[in-house]
């Protein structure tokens, strides 16, 4: 019990994590457990790489924490507050790109961002800033539906950055990007993290790319976290690169 | 309320250059344009513009095609297209992770559809007005002598809008719930065909897509006008409440 005079949710408030789950469990059916007691902890200021093979439960976790799937069991808190009681305040501080980008094909890049700018209420000049960051400043009147896969992905990242988030949740953000594009996005994420203190949670299959980017990592396999902690500690404990360690962990 | 207006503005932007907005524009002006061409082609415009019931005649002839076919089909298509924008753009997940209540999203999107419906009616009425006035403005033909019976026309428009609301509400429900565009479209077409078949049936009013046709038929129908208007209002509220509950309690939001 918290001492008298301290709010009941004081444990949440004391949390040093941007995002924290406790005992998060999700079932598609009675015998099909997708997530099993997941205790995810994304430290403030980190770039957290959420790694796992296909079907491990990465996207389900991200969809659950963002409220896109109904929570069945366990707790979710953002910035020290339970998600259920602080949904709107939380979503103001979170930017996300889950799976494929959300693009209105008949609109231009600027118009696509205007759609979200109206809701977030952020300054209009933020649109030009984020488009510059993702390299789409010169797309003019071209409809977003005619963009290449990589350009659509960049626009999706721009949408996620629009509200100047404190926490950025990106599911496979480098999908469809060419090697140069990957380097650019990696540099952008590092810059956001180092200069603006944005915490980043991202999932990806590209382990060599993640090794260059993340400071913290969580490895999930069959709905369970096999490892969670600083990347350098993981690398120090095992031999080989991240890919070798990942395969070793997920095959045991 | 503030967030509702922002949400509405955002939804309004999304429909820019979309198929639904083109459909509203073309659908509303198609009949008046065809009727205008037909008036020119049939001749006797000068005499026709001096007739005592010019506006009632233009209104009745234009609504004949609109009420029976274009209006219900247009509402089915436009409502389904607006809701499909999110599915087609993979945008439900983005929309549901914006800092706004799901209730706000539901009513902002519905408001866009309703405003588009009003826009459609407004354009259609302007089209009817131009049917009468354009030949005179083009020169050589007398300006219509009869005054426009505004009150009667607005009242009739009001009833037609009420007749459409059950279609809007049901198509909205289906559009929000079904990822596959063919489901709301198929149900809409099916119910429209059923409503056509049931027009002469004495219980035809139980099919919620019948009312604009019954409105047009007026006294020629076996049903009293007020009777099916009550049904239209009842269906609209019932579908809207059901749609809202289904949307709010949906397991997967995007």
B155 close contact with A: CB closer than 8 A = no
Give a yes or no: residue A148 inside a domain: yes
Q: Name B5's Cβ contacts closer than 8 Å, sequence gap at least 6.
A: none
- Give the total number of structural domains in chain A: 1
pLDDT for A221: 92
Residue A20: which of A228, A160, A219 has the closest Cα? A228
Backbone angles phi, psi at B126, to 5 degrees: -65, -40
Residue A175 tokens, joined: 């999908």
pLDDT for A251: 80
d(CA B203, CA B198): 8
pLDDT for B221: 61
Give a yes or no: residue A139 inside a domain: yes
Residue B64 tokens, joined: 């004949």
Residue A199: which of A14, A15, A39, A47 has the closest Cα? A47
Give a yes or no: residue A122 inside a domain: yes
Rg for chain B, CA atoms, rounded: 20
Per-residue pLDDT of A35-92, as tens digits, reads 999 999 999 999 999 999 888 999 999 999 999 999 999 999 999 999 999 999 999 9
Give a yes or no: residue A127 inside a domain: yes
Residues of B in contact with A118 (CB under 8 A): 6-7, 9-10, 13
DSSP B73-140: HHHHHHHHHHHHHHHHTT-HHHHTTSSS-HHHHHHHHHHHHHHHHHHHHHHHHHHHHHHHHHHHHHSS
Among A70, A104, A121, the residue with its CB nearest the CB of B91 is A104
Among A90, A96, A115, the residue with its CB nearest the CB of B10 is A115
Residue B206: which of B236, B169, B232 has the closest Cα? B232
Q: What is the mean pLDDT of chain B?
A: 89
Q: What pLDDT band is residue B233 in, cutting at 50, 70 and 90? A: very high
Are the Cβ atoms of B253 and A68 closer than 8 angstroms? Answer: yes
Give a yes or no: residue A59 inside a domain: no
Per-residue pLDDT of A179-223, as tens digits, reads 888 888 899 999 999 988 999 999 988 888 899 999 999 999 999
Give a yes or no: residue A199 inside a domain: no
- Is A34 in a helix, a strand, or coil? strand
Residue A200: which of A129, A90, A96, A126 has the closest Cα? A96
Q: Is the distance from CB of B35 to CB of A144 less than 8 angstroms?
A: no
Per-residue pLDDT of B169-198, as tens digits, reads 999 999 999 989 999 999 999 999 999 898
Q: Any idea which residue has 């914006």 for tokens?
A: B98
For residue B250, the chain A residue with the least C-alpha distance is: A70
Picking from B4, B5, B12, B90 by the largest number of A CB atoms within 10 A of its own CB, the best residue to mutate is B90
| CA A97 vs CA A113, A152, B65: distances in Å | 14, 11, 46
pLDDT for A11: 43
Q: Classify residue A32 by burial, with Cβ atoms within 10 Å: 0-12, 13-18, 19+.
A: exposed
Q: What pLDDT band is residue A2 in, cutting at 50, 70 and 90? A: very low
Q: What pLDDT band is residue A13 in, cutting at 50, 70 and 90? A: very low
Measure B36 CA to nearest chain A CA, in Å: 32
Residue A5 tokens, joined: 């005079």
Q: Is the distance from CB of A161 to CB of A135 less than 8 angstroms?
A: no
User: What percent of chain B lies above the pLDDT cut of 90?
Assistant: 57
Per-residue pLDDT of A89-134, as tens digits, reads 999 999 999 988 999 999 999 999 999 999 999 999 999 999 999 9
d(CA B99, CA A159): 14
Own/partner pairs for B15-19, CB < 8 Å, 24+ apart? B15/B82, B15/B85, B15/B112, B15/B116, B16/A106, B16/A107, B16/A111, B17/A106, B17/A107, B17/A143, B18/A106, B18/B81, B18/B82, B18/B85, B19/B81
DSSP A141-189: T-BGGGS-HHHHHHHHHHHHHTT--SEEEEESTTTT--HHHHHHHHHHH
C-beta neighbour count of A217 within 10 angstroms: 26
- pLDDT at residue B111 greater than cutoff 60: yes
Q: Name B146's Cβ contacts closer than 8 Å, sequence gap at least 6.
A: B51, B52, B53, B54, B55
Identify the DSSP state of A250: H
Q: What pLDDT band is residue A1 in, cutting at 50, 70 and 90? A: very low
Q: What pLDDT band is residue B222 in, cutting at 50, 70 and 90? A: low
Q: Name A58's Cβ contacts closer than 8 Å, sequence gap at least 6.
A: A50, A51, A52, A171, A203, A220
A104 close contact with B: CB closer than 8 A = yes
- pLDDT at residue A12 greater than cutoff 70: no
User: What is the domain range of residue A139?
Assistant: 101-164
CA atoms within 13 A on the CB side of A246: 22
pLDDT for B138: 73
Measure A103 CA to nearest chain B CA, in Å: 5
Mean pLDDT within B107-115: 97
Mean pLDDT within B11-33: 92
Whether ipTM > 0.85 holds is: yes
B147 close contact with A: CB closer than 8 A = no
- pLDDT at residue A29 greater than cutoff 90: no
pLDDT for A7: 47
Give a yes or no: residue A31 inside a domain: no
Residues of A in contact with B10 (CB under 8 A): 115-116, 118-119
Are the Cβ atoms of B6 and A118 closer than 8 angstroms? Answer: yes
Q: Name B69's Cβ contacts closer than 8 Å, sequence gap at least 6.
A: none
Helix axes B71-88, B102-138, angle to 10 degrees: 130
For residue B102, the chain A residue with the least C-alpha distance is: A88
H/E stretch holding B152 reads: helix B150-177
Among A67, A96, A115, the residue with its CB nearest the CB of B14 is A115
CA atoms within 13 A on the CB side of B86: 24
Mean pLDDT within A155-160: 95
């Amino acid at each position: 019990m918290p001492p008298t005079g301290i709010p009941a949710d004081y444990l949440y408030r004391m949390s040093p994590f941007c995002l924290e789950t406790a005992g998060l469990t999700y079932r598609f059916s009675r015998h099909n457990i997708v997530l099993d007691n997941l205790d995810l902890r994304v430290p403030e200021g980190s770039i957290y790489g959420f790694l796992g093979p296909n079907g491990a439960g990465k996207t389900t976790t991200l969809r659950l924490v963002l409220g896109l799937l109904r929570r069945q069991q366990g707790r979710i808190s953002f910035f020290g507050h339970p998600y259920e009681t602080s949904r709107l305040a939380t979503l103001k501080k979170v930017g996300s790109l889950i799976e494929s980008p959300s693009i209105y094909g008949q609109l231009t890049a600027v118009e696509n961002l205007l759609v979200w700018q109206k809701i977030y209420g952020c300054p209009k000049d933020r649109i030009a800033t984020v488009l510059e960051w993702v390299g789409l400043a010169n797309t003019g009147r071209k409809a977003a539906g005619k963009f290449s896969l990589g350009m659509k992905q960049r626009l999706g990242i721009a949408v996620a950055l629009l509200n100047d988030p404190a926490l950025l949740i990106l599911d496979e953000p480098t999908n469809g990007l060419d090697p140069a594009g990957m380097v650019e996005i990696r540099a952008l994420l590092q810059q956001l993290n180092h200069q603006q203190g944005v915490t980043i949670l991202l999932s990806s299959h590209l382990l060599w790319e993640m090794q260059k980017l993340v400071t913290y990592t969580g490895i999930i396999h069959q709905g369970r976290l096999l490892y969670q902690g600083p990347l350098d500690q993981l690398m120090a404990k095992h031999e080989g690169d991240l890919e070798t360690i990942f395969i070793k962990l997920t095959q045991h | 309320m503030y967030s509702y207006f922002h949400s509405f503005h955002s939804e309004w932007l999304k429909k820019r250059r979309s198929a639904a907005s083109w459909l509203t524009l073309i659908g509303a002006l198609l009949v008046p344009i065809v009727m205008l061409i037909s008036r020119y082609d049939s001749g006797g415009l000068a005499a026709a513009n001096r007739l005592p019931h010019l506006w009632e005649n233009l209104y009745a002839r234009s609504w004949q095609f609109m009420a029976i076919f274009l209006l219900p089909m247009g509402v089915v298509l436009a409502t389904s297209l607006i809701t499909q924008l999110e599915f087609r753009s993979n945008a439900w997940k983005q929309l549901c992770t914006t800092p706004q209540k799901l209730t706000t999203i539901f009513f902002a999107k519905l408001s866009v559809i309703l405003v588009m419906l009003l826009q459609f009616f407004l354009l259609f009425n302007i089209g009817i007005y131009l049917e009468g006035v354009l030949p005179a403005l083009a020169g050589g033909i007398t300006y219509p002598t009869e005054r426009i019976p505004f009150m009667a026309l607005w009242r009739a428009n009001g009833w037609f809008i009420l007749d459409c609301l059950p279609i809007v509400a049901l198509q909205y429900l289906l559009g929000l719930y079904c990822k596959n565009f063919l489901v709301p479209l198929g149900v809409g077409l099916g119910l429209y065909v059923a409503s056509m078949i049931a027009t002469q049936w004495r219980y035809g009013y139980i099919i919620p897509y019948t009312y604009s046709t019954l409105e047009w038929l007026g006294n020629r129908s076996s049903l009293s006008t007020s009777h099916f208007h009550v049904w239209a209002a009842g269906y609209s509220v019932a579908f809207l409440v059901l749609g809202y509950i289904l949307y709010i309690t949906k397991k997967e939001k995007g």
